[in-house]
């Protein structure tokens, strides 16, 4: 990345860290349970993290974007059972991601390769790629880019970030969207992954699970 892009990604990380509703220590245990394909109970999450159910309930109360089923079990936080534009397939199961960066980062967080398919925000054409724990590969089309935004006062992770982080088939295809989002820019998929890497590392380091995975 050039210096200007590095400065932008630093602003992105600073903005993300100030967003309410992101409990880093809970992200990886929750994703690990969600990727089994079953809704996640408080008891399962407490056992996974070595915390009490009361502590888990308190943490979830600060995460308004979390999705639940009718029984009160968690079915989505970044990775979700509910359809979004970002299809995420791994180990024979189909999930969805809240945004393009989630789709790029979760394979590293979970240690599982995923096949990602997403419709270009501007044209509707498919963007397809394989994302390994070490980053994205086999990107089609190779000109694909990811939009990243740096709001000054984020209100929540999903509303302030995820809802504006999309795949586009090319930088040219994103021009119209960028004109309406002056605080955003687009990065090639590989650069977007590198911009997200510090977040991935923080999520992994924050995992309190007794077995560390």
Prediction pTM value? 0.90
Predicted local confidence at residue 213, as pLDDT: 52
| Nearest-angstrom CA–CA distance, 44 and 85 | 29
Average pLDDT over residues 182-190: 92
Which of 65, 102, 120, 207 is an active site residue?
102
Predicted local confidence at residue 159, as pLDDT: 80
Average pLDDT over residues 26-48: 97
| Nearest-angstrom CA–CA distance, 75 and 134 | 26
Average pLDDT over residues 46-69: 95
* Average pLDDT value for the chain: 91
Which of 4, 14, 65, 99 is an active site residue?
99
Angle at alpha carbon of residue 170, lines to 165 and 174, rounded to 5°: 55
| Nearest-angstrom CA–CA distance, 150 and 187 | 13
3-state SS class at 2: coil
Listed by start position, the domains of the chain span 3-205
* 147 vs 157, higher pLDDT: 147
102 is catalytic: yes
Predicted local confidence at residue 16, as pLDDT: 72
State pLDDT tens for residues 15-29. 776 676 778 899 999
Which of 14, 138, 152, 162 is an active site residue?
162
Burial of 22 (0-12, 13-18, 19+ CB in 10 A): buried
Asked if pLDDT for residue 195 goes beyond 80, the answer is: yes
Asked if pLDDT for residue 212 goes beyond 60, the answer is: no
Asked if pLDDT for residue 3 goes beyond 70, the answer is: no
Beta bridge partners of residue 188, listed in sequence order = 145
Q: In what order do the strands lie in the sheet containing 135-140?
A: 67-68, 74-77, 79-80, 93-97, 86-90, 114-119, 126-132, 135-140
3-205 fold: Beta-Lactamase (3.30.450)
Asked if pLDDT for residue 51 goes beyond 60, the answer is: yes
Which range among 118-122, 129-133, 155-159 shows the weakest confidence by mean pLDDT?
A: 155-159
Predicted local confidence at residue 10, as pLDDT: 78
């Amino acid at each position: 990345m050039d210096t200007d892009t590095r400065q932008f990604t630093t602003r992105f990380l600073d903005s993300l860290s100030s967003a309410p509703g992101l409990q880093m220590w809970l992200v990886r245990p929750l994703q690990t349970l969600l990727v089994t394909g079953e809704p996640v109970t408080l008891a399962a999450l407490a056992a996974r993290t070595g915390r009490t159910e009361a502590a888990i309930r308190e943490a979830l109360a600060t995460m308004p974007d979390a999705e639940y089923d009718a029984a009160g079990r968690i079915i989505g936080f970044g990775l979700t059972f509910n359809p979004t534009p970002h299809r995420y397939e791994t180990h024979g199961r189909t999930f969805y991601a809240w945004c393009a960066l989630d789709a790029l980062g979760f394979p590293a967080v979970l240690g599982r390769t995923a096949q990602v398919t997403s419709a270009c925000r501007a044209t509707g054409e498919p963007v397809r790629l394989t994302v390994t724990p070490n980053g994205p590969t086999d990107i089609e089309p190779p000109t694909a880019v990811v939009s990243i935004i740096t709001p000054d006062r984020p209100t929540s992770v999903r509303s302030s970030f995820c809802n504006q982080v999309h795949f586009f088939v090319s930088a040219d295809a994103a021009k119209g969207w960028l004109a309406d989002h002056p605080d955003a820019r687009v990065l090639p998929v590989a650069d977007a992954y590198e911009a997200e890497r510090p977040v991935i590392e923080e999520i992994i380091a924050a995992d309190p699970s007794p077995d560390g995975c």
